[in-house]
Amino acid sequence: MSKSDEVPDKGSNADEAYEAIVQRLRLGKIGRGDRIVDTVIAAELNMSRMPAREALLRLVNEGYLVGSTRGFRLPELTQADVLEIFEIRKILEPRAAALAAVALTPDQLEQLESAFFEARAGFETGNAQMMFDANVRFRNAWLNAVPNRRLVAMIERFFDQVNAVRIATLHDAESRQLSIAIGETLLAGFRRGDSLYVFEQMYSFVEAARAKFVALNSSGATKKARAVK
C-alpha cells in the first residue's frame, strides 16, 4: 500500500493527481469528447481510485470538468456560456491589471518586459509555440503582482476553463497580432504604473477577444463552442 518512492512527497496522492490533470487541461491534452475515468488516472499515476476520484471531483467543482455515468469530460460550453465567462473576465481582469500596475516590483516589471520581447520575437519568426509560452509567462507575471490572491484565483479559473476548450485561437494570425499589440500597450501602462490606462487597455483587450469569439461563432447562439484539436 505504498506509492512510488521516486520523489519526496509534496502533498497527498489526491493533490498530485489534481496537479497532473490540471496540467493536461492547460496544455490542451484533453480534447472535447475525451472520457476521463478515475481508474485509468489511478493506474497511470500509480495510486488507488479514491485519490484520483477526489482530484476529479475537485476539478468538477471548479468547473473544469463535468461528471457523467460514463466518466468525466470537458464541459460543453455553449456560446452563451462562453459569453458569460467573457463578461466575468471583463469585470475581473481590468481591475486586477490595474491593481498590478500599482503593486509591480522592478523585478516583476523586468519579467514582463522579458516575456513580452520573447512573445514578439516568436511572433516575428512565426514560432507559435514560443509565442504561446511567452504569453503565458507575461500573464503570470502581472497576475503574480496582484495583491488580492482570491481575485487572481478566480481569474485563473475562468481563464483555464475557456482555455481548456479553446486553444486554437492563438494560432490564428489575426489573434496573434492583436495579442502583440495589446501586450505592448499593457507593458507601457505597467512601466508607468498607470492604473487607469492599464484598466482601459485590459478592458479593450478582453472585449476584443469577446468580439472575435462572437464573429467566429456567428452561426447560432446555442451552438457549442468550437472544439479544440
Partner DNA sequence: TAGCCAATAACTGTATACAGAAAGAGACGC
Partner DNA sequence: GCGTCTCTTTCTGTATACAGTTATTGGCTA
Nearer CB in complex with DNA: 73/137 = 73
Residue 118 near which of DNA, a copy of itself, none (CB within 5-8 Å, type-dependent): none
Contact 134, 164 (CB under 8 A): no
49 binds DNA (CB under 7 A): yes
Residue 71 near which of a copy of itself, DNA, none (CB within 5-8 Å, type-dependent): DNA
Which three cell numbers, joined as nine digits, stand for 142?
Answer: 502581472
Nearer CB in complex with DNA: 20/128 = 20
| The length of the chain, given as a count of residues | 229
Binding-residue pattern over the window 54 to 73 for DNA, x denoting contact by CB under 7 A: x-xx---------xxxxxx-
- To the nearest 10°, report the CA torsion of 85, 113, 104, 187: -60
Q: Which of 44, 76, 87, 124 binds a copy of itself (CB under 8 A)?
A: 87
Residues 12-41 that bind DNA (CB under 7 A): 12-14, 35, 37-39
Closest distance of CB 222 from DNA, Å = 21
Which three cell numbers, joined as nine digits, stand for 166?
Answer: 479553446
- Helix, strand, coil content of the chain in percent (nearest 5): 70, 5, 25
Other Cβ atoms less than 10 A from the Cβ of 180: the count is 17
- To the nearest 10°, report the CA torsion of 174, 26, 143, 149: 150
Residue 205 burial class via C-beta count within 10 angstroms: exposed 0-12, middle 13-18, buried 19 and up: buried
Closest distance of CB 85 from a copy of itself, Å = 7
Q: Which of 149, 191, 192, 223 binds a copy of itself (CB under 8 A)?
A: 149
Q: What is the DSSP letter of 224?
A: B
Alpha carbons 103 and 66: distance in angstroms, whole number: 37
Report which of 148, 137, 147 is spatially closest to residue 112, judged by C-alpha positions: 137
Q: What are phi and psi of 63, to 5 degrees?
A: 90, 0
Q: Which of 61, 68, 69, 219 binds a copy of itself (CB under 8 A)?
A: 61
Residues 33-52 that bind a copy of itself (CB under 8 A): 50
Nearer CB in complex with DNA: 58/224 = 58
Residues forming contacts to a copy of itself in the complex (CB under 8 A) are: 50, 54, 57-58, 61-63, 84-85, 87-88, 91-92, 95, 147-151, 154, 158
Residues forming contacts to DNA in the complex (CB under 7 A) are: 1, 3, 12-14, 35, 37-39, 42, 47-51, 53-54, 56-57, 67-72
